[in-house]
Amino acid sequence: MMSCEEFTDEVGEYIEGTLPFGERIQMWLHAFLCDHCKTYLQQMRDVADLMGELGERWREHPEEEAPEELKGDLLDSYREKVDGESTE
Amino acid sequence: MSDDAHIIERLKAGDEKAFEALIDRHYAAMIRLAETFVSDESSAEELVQETWRVVIDKLDTFEGRSKLKTWIFGILANLARQRRRSDQREKPWSTIMEEPIEESAGHMTERFDAEGRWQAPPRALQLDPEDEAMKTQFLEHVQAAMDELPARQRAAVMLRDVQGLSSEETCEILDVSKANQRVLLHRGRAKIRETLEDAAVVPGEVRS
């Protein structure tokens, strides 16, 4: 059986679903038999979920807004570009 | 995708409201991504600004083969790499693209015995998904831990987990192999996990 250390090294690949079938089975079996590694696996999934949640919150309330001046400049460029195309 | 198609249509038609909304939606994430390529705030802002100029310029060539967000992030990363190549000897673009990632994965080696068994097993995180206040506290730790990651790990974690992009999209934006991307992502997540473990555990309790 693989060691716990090997399990933690492979856990990223396991979560990504990129391990070959045989190794995937070994990982599954290890996690089934080893509570510590099962906890570790779950925590790594929790971390990914929490970061997803952080992303959700940032989408609802962005951390920072574009400075008004930049927005104004970009809008000007955008307008120019659109106008330029419509008169071509 | 259909959302994107709708936005693109409005953008190509010259809808300024749609363009402003696009800036608002992506600005903060772009700054975060830019900060993984450049070392200081003003360079990051400059890079984002430059990215928007390219976006405006190339908008009519966007074909919707990727997500709009992915396309914009890709432009930003390409610009960063171009700038780095041309400014290699100047200081503000001191970047981290060559950061070695081949160090052993075992930043946790001390937690295992010689046979690879847990010596210091993972401690419970006490994360109750129903408890909003606790979750907010966890998210603060997650964010702080992410901010501490080496740039490339931070970029991988941000694109994959925070932005929800696929591994293919992430590889393309960061210009790394799939294996490389997985290593970066795994290391980043592992470090964040460790920070959470250190910051938020209640010793001796078992996770439900």
Comparing CB atoms, the residue among B49, B59, B139 nearest residue A70 is B49
Question: Residue type at B146?
Answer: M
Contact B122 A36 (CB under 8 A): yes
Mean pLDDT of B62-91: 86
Q: How many CA atoms lie within 13 A of A48 on its CB side?
A: 18
Residue B169 contacts residue B155 (beta carbons within 8 Å): no
| Residues of A with Cβ-Cβ distance to B56 under 8 angstroms | 74, 77-78, 81
For residue A38, pLDDT beyond 90: yes
Predicted confidence band at B138 (pLDDT cuts at 50, 70, 90)?
confident
Measure in Å the smallest separation between the Cα of B16 and chain A Cα atoms. Answer: 7
| Residues of B with Cβ-Cβ distance to A70 under 8 angstroms | 45, 49, 52
- Tens digit of each residue's pLDDT (9 = 90 or more) over A42-86: 999 999 999 999 999 999 999 889 999 999 999 999 999 988 876
Comparing CB atoms, the residue among A54, A59, A66 nearest residue B139 is A54
Q: How many domains does chain A have?
A: 1
pLDDT mean across residues, chain B:
85
Residue B39 contacts residue B92 (beta carbons within 8 Å): yes
| Residues of A with Cβ-Cβ distance to B137 under 8 angstroms | none
Q: Select from B15, B3, B38, B64 the least CA-distant residue to B155.
A: B38
Measured CA distances, A55 to B41, B78, B128, B165, B184 (Å): 21, 23, 19, 11, 19
Which domains does chain B possess?
2-86 (1.10.1740.10), 110-200 (1.10.10.10)
The ipTM of this complex is: 0.89
Contact A16 B163 (CB under 8 A): no
For residue A41, the enclosing domain spans: 4-86
